[in-house]
Amino acid sequence: MLAALIPLLTSAFGTVIDRVVPDKVAAEKAKQDLAVDLMKMAQESNLAQIEVNKTEAASSNLFVAGWRPGIGWVCVAALAYQFVLVPLGVWLAAIGGYDLPTPPNLDDMLWELMFGLLGMAGLRSVEKIKGVTR
């Protein structure tokens, strides 16, 4: 998330640097140093999160390592409800002559969750390009 803020922070602090540092060359060097420092901070934050993820995944405790599979199973259950159980139930009720109220629909956030879990947000491709996957 910090990586997304780097251009905004660099721009905001760049304006301050331009006002404080009168020498243009020194101001540009300070802006470049700031951008490099912010990128290093973002990278260190990402590496720290990777270490936390490794520790969580290695844990045998269900409440530590089981939350990701838990989210996956909730997503599977929601997809089954939305695209199998509801249409099949409505169809069977109509065949049986029952007039059922329309069941509630799940919103599109389900797709965002599923794409993130499956790595379809593009991050998995980045990992493969960098060679950090098997």
Read off the pLDDT of residues 78-99 as tens digits, 9 standing for 90 and up.
Answer: 889 988 999 999 999 999 999 8
Distances (CA, A) of 9 to 12, 19, 38, 67, 109: 5, 16, 9, 34, 30
Low-confidence ranges of the chain (pLDDT < 70): 1-3, 63-65, 118-128, 132-134
